[in-house]
Structure formats: C-alpha cells, structure tokens
A and B are shown apart, each in its own frame.
Chain A
Amino acid sequence: MTTLSRTMVPEPLMSIRAAEKSYRLRMGFMASLMGKRVPEIRAVEDVDLDIGKGEVVALAGESGSGKTTLGKVLSLLEPPTSGSIWFDGLQLETLSGREKRRMRRRIQMIFQDPYESLDPRFTIFQTLHEPLIVHGIKDGGVTHRDMTRDVLDRVELRPPEDFLDRYPHELSGGQRQRVAVARAIILHPDFIVADEPVSMMDASVRAGVMNMMLRLKNQLSLTYLFITHDLAVARYMADRIAIMYLGELVEVGNTDTVINQPAHPYTQILLSAVPIPDPTYGRKRVAVPGEIPSPTDKPSGCRFHPRCPYTEDICRHRRPGIVPLVDGHLARCHFALGVQGGNKTKKDRSAG
C-alpha cells in the first residue's frame, strides 16, 4: 500500500520501512486480575522514510505526535516493535551485538535539554572523553586530549583549553548545547538525530547553533534528522520536511514544496498557525477545532478527520494511504491533490 519507490532520494543512508513502536501501559494489579486487556500506545505507526546521504530531514509536529519516539528508534536507543531499518545497506535488526555497537559509533543523538543531557559532575573533558573510552578508541598518535580539543574548536568553543576543565554549570545554555554537539561528533558519526536541539534558546544563540550545525554538516559530511516543533526552524535547517501527526507521517517533501504548497490539511493548519515576524504581513488565522487527541484513543479512519476542515465520509471509515505527488512529495490524505490545489471545499464548522 505504501510504496515509496518514487521518492527521489539519491543513495539513502537510512531507510525505514513500516516501522512501528508500541508501548504497553502499566495497569493496576486488580485490573490485571480482572483479566482486562493491557492498553497499548502505538506511538509510531507505519512509518516509511528514506534519508539521503548528506541530507537534513526535519521531522516536525506537535508534542505527542511521536517525533521523539521515532528519533529514538532511528538512533538505536529503542528497537522498533515491528518493521525494519536499513543503515548504509545493513539491516539493523539482523546485526549481532558487536556489530550493533560498532553501528552506534556511526549514529549519534543530540537531546533537547543540555542541562539534563550533560553530567553535572563531569568536566567538559570527561564528557567528551567518555565516548572514546566506551568505544575503545586508541589514545595513540592523536591523543584523546587532542581529539577533545579538536571537537571543541569545531563547535566554536575557543580556545578549547579554556573549556576542557570546566563543568557544565559554568557554561551558558548555548555553550552547553555546543558541548553536546561536540560529544556527538567526536566519534566521527555519519548520522545525527537532533531532538529539538535549539528549542530552549534565545533567538540570537539559536541562530548561532543552527549555523554551526549546518557548517559542521558540510565539513564533516553529516546527515541529520532534525526534530523540531517549529516550522520556521525546519525551513531554515532542512532540505526536506516530514510532518508527523499521531504517530504517522502525514506529509513528506522538499522544504520549499511543503512550506509553499502543502498537500495535507494538517500541514496547512500548522503553517497557518505560525506567527510571522513582520507586522505588515497580515496572516489569516485558521481556527482548528480541539487539540491533538491522546494516542491511546486514536480516531478511526484518517487520524486527523475530527479536526479536518475537509472531512468526508470516507475519511471517517478508511485510513488513507500515501498519495505520491510530484518530485517525491507524499501526503497521507484521500484528497491530497485537491487540498494542495485549493480545489477542495471546506466544511463549515465552528471552532471548539
């Protein structure tokens, strides 16, 4: 049903096919005695995605859409419940423990909150040194100290000597996130999953970290999955944007296309809600009824139908498949073409 053969991704570095991740909720002892079914959350459902070598793919969506879960699956922190992931030609599920560990060197993750992701009792040197020890990198010709100095220089914490012996609490939020980036690149990875790496920063600091990440991508031939809830940030960083809603990818396409000709009603609504930093722009507000539903209780048919302005009968009953549009642009909507072209009439409904 969901074939992505038409996607125009040159040489995918990572390919995800029908990936799913479910969690079982804990339930009370009594409830289990009564033989109730263990509730399950399908945080990620039926995700197909190719990420090309050297690409930046932004994964965008509201909180609760499953973007962090998908990020964890792609960075090997969590195994998928089903489906398969290929990385550079290897299928990850089939790897032995030793092979998997080698693979972890090539895939790194940067987390949202550098206050929590750095050990407060480690100096910056210890933080950067730890992955070298864990992965048994030789402290030889190029010493570990040299390697840590080199990555600090690359993330523009200069001079590196001034930072090596400091603790995270002595650094600003932006500097800490730079340390987290340094830790991610010290093992020379190919692929980095960055989960909202700039969402806690002030604008001018954020711009600096984003520019640095783009520069590092070019210098070190990296590939990023950049998770963000901010479409303006996604536009700045990404070659392609993937929009997630309730565990599904609902739209994937080139940044320009997704931003300017979105084909899924949810993407249109997300875009119309982004405030524009220009007082003369005159943005038109589209009222969306309700908020993102709980993933324990997903709507039937199209997951978005209760909030969609274009809902028809088929949307309530049948879950839409992926509709391929031009240039590898994909949208999971029965009416993708009409929505994109603006030929679909909206149902009149009042905001709830």
Chain B
Amino acid sequence: MKKLVVILLAIVLAISFTSSVFAGGAPRGVFNKGIITVFNEQAGTILFTPNDAEEELTLTLDKSVKQDEITIGKRVIVSLDTKDHSRVLNVTRMFIDLNAKNMVFILFVGFVGGLVSGFIGSGGAFVLTPGMMSLGVPAAVAVASNMCHKFPKAMVGAYKRLKYGQVDLKLGLIMGASAIAGVQIGIKVQEFIFNAWGDAGSNLYVSVAFVFILVTVGGYVFRDAMKISKSGGEEKPSKLALAIQKINIPPMIHLKTANVRISVWFTVPVGFATGLMAATIAVGGFVGVPGMMYVIGASSLVASASELVVAFTMGFAGSIKWAMAGLIDIRLTLLILAASLFGVQLGALGTTYVKEHMIKVVMGSIMLIVAVSRGLAIPKYLTDLGLLSLQPATTNILMKASFAIMALALMTGAIIILKNMIKGMRLEKQKEVEVATSHVK
C-alpha cells in the first residue's frame, strides 16, 4: 500500500510539474522583447529588432509614450496594444543599471526576506518584487527574477531544517504536487480578471484578496500565539485538526515528523489553496503554513519547515516557465541569493533557539501589518477603475505609505526574529558556562 502511495505521488508530481511548465503562462498583455535601433521622433515610430528574430519591425508609438523612455541599443520590453500589435503603449529598459545604491538595496532586502523565510517558511517575495519594481525593473522581470531565487533559497532553507529534524518531507511533497495545480488555477483567474478589467482590476483583486486573507488568517494566527504565550508556551493541535485526523478516508498516510495520521485527501485542498494564493498574492505560505497547523495538525515548527519544500516545488516549476519566457534577470536573482542564503540559514537556525509559538507571533504580526499596507493601496485601484474619485496627490501619498508599511512589516518580523534568537543564544551560552563550571567544582 505504501509503495502504491509513493508511485501515485510521483506520478501526480510529474504530471502537475510538466503541465505547469508547458501550459501558457506568459505575462499578461501583449509584449515583445528586443532592441530599438532607430527612433523617428517626427513620425512617432521606432525600428525594433525582436530577440531571436532577424527582421526589424516598424512600430508606432502611442502619444502616452514619453521620449525619455526610448532607449536605443539596449534591450527593452515594449507593451503593445492588444488590438493593434504594431502600436507601442509602453517601453521599459529590460535590465536596469546596477549601481552601488541599487545593489545594496537588493542585498539588504534579500537578507531580510531570507531571514523571515527561514523562520516562518515564507515571506520576502511580497517586498522583493515591489522593491525591485521601485528600482525600475519591469514587473514581469521582477516577478521572474524573484521566482528564480525563491527555489534555491527554499532548497537551502529546507535542507538546513531537514538536518534539524523539522521537515516532514512527505507532507511537503504531497502539498507541493497539489500546490502546482493550485498555481495553474490561480493564474487562470488572474488572466480572466485582467482581460475583463485590465491592470487596475487585477491590482484591486490582488489587494482585496491580500487584505481578506491576511486579516482573517493572520488575526487568527496572532491571537493563537498570544493565547499560547499567556498559557505557558505549549503548542497543541487545533480541535479541527484532531477531528479531521479521526476521519478515515483511504489512503491514510502517516506523517512521521509531523506525528500525524491523516487521509491524503485532506492534504490536497491545503496544498491547492497554497498554490492558488501563491499565484494570487505571491505568498503561498500565508495559507500553507496555517493550513498545515490548523487543518492537518502539524506544529508551527514542522509546518514552517515543510512549507520550504512546497516553496521549492512551486518555485522550481514557475522558474522554468519564466526561463522559457526569457524574462529572468539572472543578475538580480544572484544578488538576492548572495544575501538571502545567509538570511535563510540564520532564520532556520533561529527556530532552534526560540519558543515554538514565536513562529506564530512573527507570522501573525507580519500578516496583519501587510494587510494594513495593502488596504492603503485599495483607494488608488478604486480610483483607477473610476469607482472612487481621489486627487492624484492623495493616491500618491497612500501608495508611498503602503510601500513603507510593507517594508515595516518585514523589518518588524526580522527584528522579532533576531531579538529572540540572540536572547536564546545568550541563554544557551550561559547554560554551557554553568555546566562547565559545575563540572570543575
């Protein structure tokens, strides 16, 4: 029976992986990558040589395209009118210049994102992507480059936490398989909304999803953490998880590290929801980790560790897709990795020094603060859709505040992690000294 489950799992994983890689997944809208060779200001046209093509195209510039956006001789991404593919709506440099300021910014955010990821199993992406975009990286390249750093970082983090005995590999892989399927559906929903309501509609959808999930789930996680901390620090499985574990629908699996015996069928929706959320709000772990804790009954330590396996699976499949679309700026990926590989290992070993419910405290805090951040962005998207009327100056301030608060969320998480880690390490050193001196006596 066990062998059958393993074979079935391998088949499901292979199918979802392959189908996800080859299913259409190019960024929304019509775009082309290439080099502008000539800019005819009077005629309002450009001569454009697409990547991997010999022929030059003559494209007309829409009035909204600003002159300073036209870069000659450097690789650009041109957004084209979906109804007229020869009309250019937007031109963006594909690869930004990496000066010292940009590099330091990316290294810093990479480190903090890695630290939080290593500790709570996810996070970082929601600051990294907008962070890179604020440096001028096109949205698609930012998402692609971030995704390509996610799977190696998750791999290193998962490996470390596996060594500490915290990862339930079986749980992570089963969830990974259904997560990949969830990502596909999530992408389809995004495409539908984009086609119906454009960029503004998509942004509104993402923000509302963010706020709803983060407030409900984040609030629950935070409240749970406070309850445990008041009652003396011992985590117990939720009533829901205990009830679900009793339901006998074969095949039943035994998750050794999580110390849970449960029907496989209950792990599938949790994984699916994780993938769906990853495709919607870019952070699957905000649903995956609470799902593993409160629905399946794993401890916060095992849930956050196993989430790294899920993140690796999704990240790897997604990265192959983005590599096929030719949108990964490997310099950004490697820069983020340079710092995040330090961060993720620190976060991982940090979990061994803190009380278990601390993971819930960090996760809940980040989720609630990010909810506020996303909430502040909603008025702008409502204005873009014509459902609200606000001055550009007001929406500008709101968007800046939104970004700042998002950064604050990550910093808060990092500070809580580091503070408690240092406290735990100091206590440990003290104990070692006491033991050593007591032996001498």
The yes or no verdict on A and B being binding partners is no
Interface residues of A (CB under 8 A from B): none
Interface residues of B (CB under 8 A from A): none
